[in-house]
Structure 1
Amino acid sequence: MTVRVMLISPAMNAALREARFDGDAPLDRSGRERALAAADAVPVAGIALSGPSERCRGTAEALGLAARTEPALTGWDLARWSGRRLDDVAAAEPAQLTAWLGDPSAAPHGGESLRDLVGRIGGWLDSLGGPDAPDTGFLAVAEVAVVRAVVVHGLRLPLEAFWRLDVAPLTLTGLSGRAGRWNVALGRPLTAPTSG
């Protein structure tokens, strides 16, 4: 059975604007306004989910989704780097940052390695389907790292490809297929349809 999975990256917040590692910060005013404006462009799905971060839940709410929080969609656990600015980590721990960026098994921050993240998110993706899967698919608001991990796993890309995938706020990434064989449609902006 073919399964449809649609992922929406959350709207902007201050942590993104400041290039901070995923801290659990709410949407800022601009991010909330953009999500509200995009609500009419959200596709229909049988099951709506949200990652547990405040940013994902706030985006789902602003988009008008009655989304169930899905713990499996938790963002990347960056442990002691969470909430810190990338520049600050680069200045304080340059060797550790270089190791993290170059080795998919490295976790100098004390949290998940890239390999662990992709494995965890890939397990969630592959668990979807079966007789209980909705015909209209799954729609989830998920952190950017989760979206990137889904694409890497779904297409069986080398883990290093994770760093080459750009996911803008409020974009839709769709997958269709089943465990072991996924097709991907990347990064369609959520924009409200125009009349006329």
Structure 2
Amino acid sequence: MSLRVTFVAAARSSPLLAERFEDDRPLDQGGWDEVQRVAAVLLPLAAADLRFCSPTPRSRATGDALGYTPLVQPALRDCGMGRWRGLTLGEAMAREPQAVDAWLADPRSSPHGGESMMEFISRVGGWLDTRPVEDGGRVVAVAEPAVIRAALVYALKAPPSTYWNIDVRPLSTTTLTGQARRWNLRFDGAPGQPARA
């Protein structure tokens, strides 16, 4: 038996250029409006056997607003950014340009004092690999875009640098099928079509 894990990207809490590392801000009005616009399309995912979310306020609020009543999963938290927590990339670059360059170039580095990109990808991958198949074949998880990018890099066994080339939009869905260490990316259809759990 295989699992089908559908990730739903949390609605936004700020404009793209104002995104902050480990952002704990709640949904902004634009995020709430976006959830209301797509709720009918994403509501069928509530039929999943298991429903989870990242611990961030916006992930929990997105899951609740979509009727998922998700269980918080600490392993689905954003990358631990140490002293850069709460900063934008531009702010971190202004304060520590060489450290940011090192972090972007080497997935094993953690000049900010938090997790390296490799540690982050491994943590999210470990969560994927420990989903018990016998607990249910369909899982939905509302998560931060960074978490979904990490899950895709892990599942596809892609080089860590691929992380920077994956664009995950708010309220988009991404489905992985398979089981521990054997995952496939699944495309569910064109935008606007009902989501399937």
Query: Same fold by TM (over 0.5)?
Result: yes
Whether the aligned pair in 1 keeps the contact of 2:2 and 2:133 (CA below 8 Å) is no
Q: Supply the RMSD in Å over aligned alpha carbons.
A: 1.9
Asked if residue 158 in structure 1 is aligned to residue 159 in structure 2, the reply is: yes
Distance 1:49 1:129, change over 3 A: same
The CA deviation string for residues 49-72 of structure 1, in whole angstroms up to 9 with x for no partner, is 111001101111221211111111
Structure 1 residues without counterparts, runs of 5 or longer? none
1:39-188 matched pairs, under 5 angstroms: 39-42=39-42, 43=45, 44-132=47-135, 134-135=136-137, 137-185=138-186
Please give the secondary structure, in 2, of the residue aligned with 1:124. Answer: helix
The structural deviation recorded for 1:38 is 1.4
1:25-56 deviations in Å (ceiling 9; x for gaps)? 10000101111221211223111111100110
1:173 and 1:86 mapped to 2: Cα distance? Answer: 25
Q: Specify the code of the residue in structure 2 equivalent to 1:87.
A: G
Cα distance, 1:91 vs structure 2: 1.3
Q: 12-21 or 42-51: which moved more? A: 12-21
Cα distance, 1:85–1:60 mapped onto 2, change above 3 Å: same
Deviation track 1:81-139 (CA, whole Å, cap 9, x = no partner) reads 1111221211111100000000001111111000000111111101113322x13x110
- Is 1:5 matched with 2:8? no
TM-fit CA distance, 1:189: 8.0
Aligned residues with identical type, % of pairs:
38
Q: Which amino acid aligns with 2:31?
A: G
SS across alignment from 1:52: coil
Q: How does 1:181-196 map to 2 (within 5 A)?
A: 181-185=182-186, 191=192
Q: Is the 8 A contact 1:170 1:190 kept in 2?
A: no
Name the aligned partner's letter for residue 157 of structure 2. Answer: R
Name the aligned partner's letter for residue 105 of structure 1.
Answer: R
Q: Structure 2: give runs of 5+ residues left out of the alignment.
A: none
SS at structure 1 position matched to 2:63 = helix
Native 8 Å contact 1:15 1:23 kept in 2:
no
8 Å Cα contact 1:126/1:178 also seen in 2? yes
Deviations 1:170-192 (A, max 9, x none): 10000001112211136978747
Aligned residues: 191
Alpha carbons of structure 1 residues 72 and 61: separation in structure 2 relative to 1, 3 Å: same
Normalised to the residue count of structure 1, the TM-score between the two structures is 0.90
Matched-pair contact (CA < 8 Å) for 2:11–2:171: yes
Q: CA deviation at 1:153?
A: 0.7
Matching residue's letter, 1:155: L
Letter in 2 for 1:140: A
Q: In 1, Cα distance between the equivalents of 2:104 and 2:157?
A: 19
Q: CA deviation at 1:21?
A: 2.0
1: distance between equivalents of 2:106 and 2:189?
30
